[in-house]
Amino acid sequence: MIKHNLLLLYRNFRRFKGTFFINLVGLSMGLTCALLIWLWVSDELGVDKFHEKDERLFQVMENFYHDTGIETGAGTPGPLARALMEEMPEIEYAVAVVPAGMGQQQGVISVADKRIKISAQYAGRDFFNVFSYRLLEGDHNKVLADQKGVAISTALALKLFNTTYDVAGKTIGWNQGEKTALFYVSGLFETPPANSSNQFDIVFNYDLFLQDKPWLETWTSTDPRTYVVLREGASASQLNTKIRGFLKSKDKNIRETLFVQRYSDRYLYGKYENGAPAGGRIAYVKLFSIIAVFILLIACINFMNLSTAKASRRIKEVGIKKAVGAGRKTLIIQYLSESMTMAFLSLAIAVLATDLLLTPFGSLTGKQLVLRFDTSLVLTAIGITLVTGVLAGSYPALYLSGFKPALVLKGRMNKSTGEGWARKGLVVFQFAISVILIVSVIVAYRQMEYIQTKNLGYSRDHVIYFDTEKVSDALMAEIKTLPGVINAARFYHDLTGNHGGTYALDWEGKKPDDRIDFGNLEVGYDLIETMGFDLVEGRSFSRDFGSDEQIIFNEAAIQAMGLKDPIGKTVTIWNFRRQIVGVVKNFHFESFYEEVKPCFFFLVPMIDNTPSRIMVKIQAGSEKTTLEHLQKFHQRHNAGLPFDFRFMDDDYQKLYAAEQRVSALSQYFAGIAIVISCLGLFALAAFTAERRLKEIGVRKVLGSSVTGIVLLLSRDFSKIVFTAILIALPVSYLIATRWLGGFAFRVALEWWYFAGAGAVAMIIAWVTVGTQAFKAAKVNPVLCLKEE
């Protein structure tokens, strides 16, 4: 029987080549999408899961209460880790970490004549007991015990020593401006894997960071991150109850509260509302998982529809088999085996296609995805294929095996109204999903276009920035004289979300219960002019006045403080008195997910021969030559260090990297869904035209035109697609509204987004069906009636 069924399978595939090809292409495309999305989803779900103590590893988060609500942040007081370790018996380890790239931690490592610019990470001595970054040399308990000892990654060891063997004990130099110190390598760790959210190459002792910033020993500081490992059996919820008011027990004036969140959950659940986790990247993981399921369903629907549509060609086969004793179970197995064979053939093609598309797909998603045939992938692929095969073949198998032999041998087949409606319903489902995806593409594209073109309140075009070891007035003046440089300024905080913040600001008339979270942007002279901020009152920073006498606010800050005629008034910040000299128009210094918040520009005095970040505005069209001049300038003042510069526009784009990927991926997935749907519609139109050939011949003999016949054959399919559009539009409106609701600044939902999506779907359907209808209408009526 197996040999017999395989022979029948081969003959059916050869007999119905068109159907076989359409099903194979459709299922292959669906499975390819599913495999690619599964690889991406698996990678997202696996971020930070490699730590051995993952189930017990938590990050301490802090809730800040201010006038506009609760803001959750990762920064915690400097003494917190030590205090939690001493006072909370549930905690096995607690460690404070200042991540690489946070604050002014950049310096130069030197070994002999090699000099490498790098950002330092500072951590407590239990860092390698808390996190499972594999130590190749050194002891977990001792590697960060000595302030003169540092742990370096294998990647950094190769750069410094050209080897990863016996590097422990070797000496390196660390230079930050005028501060120079020697350290020895106390540990060597494997470079953090790609699925680690924390990427770093060097770890210094945390106490070194405290020496330079003694204010971090206060309970009102918020720079370090605090991580804890709970003891076996300890409850995170009970710990949350105990530590909620922990800060207030240290300082009665503190209103902030604490809670812990599982460390590996932070990557996917990094969004907070009212002081609690409320989604984040997990939304896109769920979104693309659903898209993968729907694309597979669309491919399966093609198989169901085409199999039932061609059932009329197989009724005699069914009748003969039943007449000679074949049971319904036997027939179901036969037809299911056809769908399973088709599914596994499609899987083979999908695996090849996935391997070919992995590199461009990885570039699109920003990940280094690898197709490894491990147990997880193999079982998942087989599982998806089995489900696809059963889903695609179940309805045709049950449908075909249910024919009555007496009727089918007479060439008759009961035309079930339910079967016709089921087929139409499946086509409606296919095109409804396609229309939803088209609307999603339009809305995502329009929102990304809005983000790219909206006036931010400053000009980010043709602006670069770079770090220099030493800065001075003479150096700044030299930069401004370089050909192609319009202006230049020092700055210490970015305009793309990486800024400081404080509540410690007082002004005349401030109410005792006012608690406003101000964004803090530390800058040098000429930044206002370099970036083109619009002054609505007052003036910019001037060298004619002392740096400790000037401060500039945005409109939102002046409004929040309730100040009238603010120019000339004095505020106190961090025990410094500053005079308000200017007010700039509101500008976006955070992403479009956030409302424009109160902020101020804090003028930082020049300290000669210290590291600094320099922002340069370049004349449009002269980028290449200007960068060459800047590179030569950098080499003169930073010997041996590469000229690492970045365009501000690139940083801005990174704020919306996830959204841009969603927009791009949606376009591809929408296109795939439409192609698969149209393949099925094309085949159904062909079968419909074939069944109605005699009717077409009679109509042509009686004088019907080609146009009339094309309209006749297209009418039913137009109704089906129109029904799909009516169902899809309200659903797509709800989805688009919910997605856009996450943005504080967003496009309005225009009617033409939905009308356009419906029109595109209808036109594609008309072209698909019309092609077959026109072909059928052109057939010679003599040939149509000849068989009679």
Tens digits of residue pLDDT in 478-528: 999 999 999 999 888 777 766 777 777 889 888 877 778 888 888 889 999
Picking from 382, 384, 363, 450, the residue whose alpha carbon sits closest to that of residue 668 is: 363
**Is the CB of residue 96 less than 8 Å from the CB of residue 226?**
yes
Expressed in percent and rounded to 5, the helix, strand and coil fractions of the chain are 50, 20, 30
**Rounded CA gap, 754 and 442, in Å?**
9
231 vs 310, residue with greater confidence: 231
* Model confidence at 774: pLDDT above 60: yes
Angle between helices 328-365 and 315-323 (to 10 degrees): 140
pLDDT given for residue 177 in this prediction:
66
Picking from 114, 116, 142, the residue whose alpha carbon sits closest to that of residue 129 is: 142
Picking from 578, 45, 585, the residue whose alpha carbon sits closest to that of residue 282 is: 45
Tokens at 524, concatenated:
């040098």
List the beta bridge partners of residue 227: 59, 95
**Rounded CA gap, 288 and 307, in Å?**
29
* Model confidence at 731: pLDDT above 90: yes
Tokens at 684, concatenated:
């159904």
Element (H, E) at 506: strand 505-507
Picking from 276, 667, 615, the residue whose alpha carbon sits closest to that of residue 437 is: 667
**Rounded CA gap, 174 and 208, in Å?**
12
The owner of tokens 């007496």 is: 406
pLDDT given for residue 788 in this prediction:
47
**Rounded CA gap, 48 and 538, in Å?**
49
Picking from 112, 109, 77, 757, the residue whose alpha carbon sits closest to that of residue 446 is: 757
* Model confidence at 298: pLDDT above 50: yes
**Rounded CA gap, 401 and 332, in Å?**
6
Dihedral, CA of residue 649, residue 530, residue 499 and residue 451, to nearest 10: -40
DSSP-based three-state secondary structure for 62: strand
Of 36-40, 126-130, 288-292, 587-591, which one has max mean pLDDT?
A: 126-130
Tokens at 584, concatenated:
């700039």
Picking from 532, 556, 541, the residue whose alpha carbon sits closest to that of residue 456 is: 532
Picking from 307, 302, 314, the residue whose alpha carbon sits closest to that of residue 413 is: 314
Picking from 698, 719, 700, the residue whose alpha carbon sits closest to that of residue 769 is: 719
Pairing status of strand 225-230 against strand 171-176: unpaired
**pLDDT (tens digit, 9 = 90+) per residue, 647-683?**
888 888 777 877 888 888 888 888 888 888 887 777 7
Q: How far apart are the first and last CA of the chain?
A: 37
Segment 696-706 shows an average pLDDT of 76
Picking from 731, 711, 709, 707, the residue whose alpha carbon sits closest to that of residue 719 is: 711
Query: Binning pLDDT at 50, 70 and 90, where does residue 84 land?
Result: very high
For the chain, percent of residues with pLDDT exceeding 90: 34
List the beta bridge partners of residue 97: 123, 225
**Is the CB of residue 683 less than 8 Å from the CB of residue 772?**
no
pTM of the model: 0.82
Segment 532-549 shows an average pLDDT of 86
Amino acid at 442: I
The owner of tokens 């391997």 is: 355
Segment 428-453 shows an average pLDDT of 87
Segment 535-562 shows an average pLDDT of 88
**Rounded CA gap, 3 and 22, in Å?**
25
**Rounded CA gap, 260 and 274, in Å?**
15
CB atoms within 10 A of CB 123: 27
13 vs 487, residue with greater confidence: 487
**Rounded CA gap, 386 and 337, in Å?**
11
DSSP-based three-state secondary structure for 165: coil
Q: What is the mean pLDDT of the chain?
A: 84
Segment 156-182 shows an average pLDDT of 88
Amino acid at 210: L
**pLDDT (tens digit, 9 = 90+) per residue, 228-269?**
999 999 999 999 999 999 999 998 888 889 999 999 999 999
Tokens at 650, concatenated:
């690139």
Q: How far is CA 592 from CA 455, 471, 534, 740, in A?
A: 12, 34, 20, 11
